[in-house]
Amino acid sequence: MSERGRNTSELMEQTELQNELLVAPDNACITDRNITRPTVSVIIPTLNEAKNLPLVLPYLPMNWIDEVVLVDGRSTDNTIQVAKELLPSIKVVIEKSKGKGAAMRAGYKASRGDILVVLDADGSNDPRELPRYITPLLEGADFVKGSRFAPGGGTTDMPRIRMLGNEAFVIMSNMMFGVKFTDLCYGYHAFWRYCLESLALENFNGFEIDTALYLQAVRAKLRIVEVPSFEGYRFYGMGKLETIPDGLRVVNTIFQQWRGLMHDMEKGLHMGFRGIKYASPAMFEAPRPLRSGNNATQRLLEFMQLLSTMMFAGEDMRNPMQQVLKLTLEAVGANSGSLILLDENGNFSEGCLATEDGFKTPDRRAWTDVLGHGLAGWAIKNRQSVIVNDTYDDPRWLQREWDEKHRSAIALPLYVGGMVIGALTLIRPNAQQFTEDDLELLQSRTVNP
């Protein structure tokens, strides 16, 4: 056996072992306990953030997120248009009332996730920290709040007067409410949806909404966890916070909630644990459970094994890519398609094209054209799977002079560790149009491996 053959064999054995260790136990655990992955909604209040969104939305860890809700406070720039271009699946809510509090309430109401996360759109909250907020919820917490002053946190966007004011608020709240917070006015937070039943936020419209939210969670005896977070500088524009007026509203909120605490002594509280039993962060990283007795899903398991091998094999990737594409075509009954891989900079790296006449190798310029103007490029750019009922009439399909057939196509972005590494496109006759079931079947193994 040649050296390359031995390496490939070893890689296949390694991949099979990885699948046994990583895939099977998670699937068995989830199936045995009948647990579904909790859904996550990310709420982003905006007001004239068109310049900031391109620097924030692409960094959202979408493998952890099921829904992004943008609550716009009547922006006068093209905030909404930019958001939809960056993330077509984003849900936009227009809030006519002024203030951050009104926007947050609108976002809570419009979202549908089991877990709700709020972060700012100006770049001060790092969206890559989101798993840090969700993990404690899965481990038993009801409510998670970020802190710039917990060990591991920090800020580059806080003048000294605001820092002194925040420290005074923290000391005051800790003494009055018997807690040990390190931050009180930082808006990055996450909680289970059921917490809304214990929170009354209707009368808080400004930046004091964060203080009211945290102190009401204390009053309701929710299990609160602080996690370190780094507050960066705002990328573009001016902040809306007014130090003195907003500081006075925070002080008033602290005393208002303390008076409410005095009346909570006889209040009935929830008894027992809540959340999802046995949940763990691995639920977001592990593949979805395979449906037993389905030959197509078994082929897609082989697809992932080959994909792993392909990612390890650095010399000649043409053969494993052809095997990957062949198995996938068979799995969904497609007669042609393509597989494109990207390099670390997001540019074309390798490509494989399967036609009705066999495999072909277009030149690099053709692949670049597909990424720039074709369906695969659309799926990668928008980080979203897409079904095209008729390629002849859909503008997302790259039309060639010889391309006169009416066909159905499906394209999916491929992820590894939350990063898009390429796209898979499959084609079959228009009379056999792809359906959402086909999409679900493919996504169960390819979209979030």
Using the predicted structure, report yes or no on whether residue 429 has a pLDDT greater than 70: yes
Model confidence band, residue 143 (pLDDT cutoffs 50, 70, 90): very high
More confident residue, 192 or 203: 192
C-alpha span between 93 and 80 (Å, rounded): 10
Length of the chain: 449
Compute the average pLDDT of residues 411-435.
81
| Chain segment 98-132, per-residue pLDDT in tens | 888 899 999 999 999 999 999 999 889 999 999 99
Pairing of strands 224-228, 143-147: parallel
The conformation of residue 291, written as its DSSP 8-state character, comes to P
pLDDT at residue 290, rounded to an integer: 40
What tokens appear for 400 in the block? 């060639």
Give all domains of the chain, ordered by start, each with its CATH number.
40-276 (3.90.550.10), 288-446 (3.30.450.40)
Residues 6 or more apart from 163 whose CB is under 8 A from it? Answer: none
What tokens appear for 293 in the block? 């007795």
Compute the average pLDDT of residues 305-331.
68
Least confident interval from 58-72, 349-363, 432-446:
432-446
Compute the average pLDDT of residues 34-41.
75
Using the predicted structure, report yes or no on whether residue 68 has a pLDDT greater than 80: yes
Is residue 23 within 8 A of residue 31, CB to CB? The reply is no
Q: Where are the beta strands (DSSP E) in 286-406?
A: 336-342, 348-355, 358-360, 386-388
Pairing of strands 154-155, 230-231: parallel
The conformation of residue 118, written as its DSSP 8-state character, comes to E
C-alpha span between 102 and 90 (Å, rounded): 20
Residues 6 or more apart from 79 whose CB is under 8 A from it? Answer: 46, 47, 48, 49, 50, 53, 70, 72
Is residue 224 within 8 A of residue 217, CB to CB? The reply is yes
| Chain segment 257-266, per-residue pLDDT in tens | 777 776 665 5
Alpha carbon of 223 to those of 84, 140, 176: distances in Å? 36, 8, 18
> What would the DSSP string read from start to end of 178-201?
T---S-SS---EEEEGGGGGG---
SS (H, E, C) 10-51: HHHHHHHHHHHHHHHHHHHHHHHHCCCCCCEEEEEEECCCCC
Nearest partner of 48 among 90, 83, 14, judged by Cα: 83
The conformation of residue 157, written as its DSSP 8-state character, comes to S
Q: Kindly report the average pLDDT of the chain as a whole number.
A: 78
pLDDT at residue 230, rounded to an integer: 93
Compute the average pLDDT of residues 153-158.
84
Is residue 65 within 8 A of residue 85, CB to CB? The reply is no
pLDDT at residue 392, rounded to an integer: 80
Beta-sheet strand order (sheet of 67-72):
91-94, 67-72, 40-46, 115-118, 189-192, 143-147, 224-228
Q: CA 364, 366, 367, 368 torsion: positive or negative?
A: positive
Q: How many CB atoms lie within 10 A of CB 281?
A: 16
Is residue 126 within 8 A of residue 166, CB to CB? The reply is no
What tokens appear for 411 in the block? 């394209």
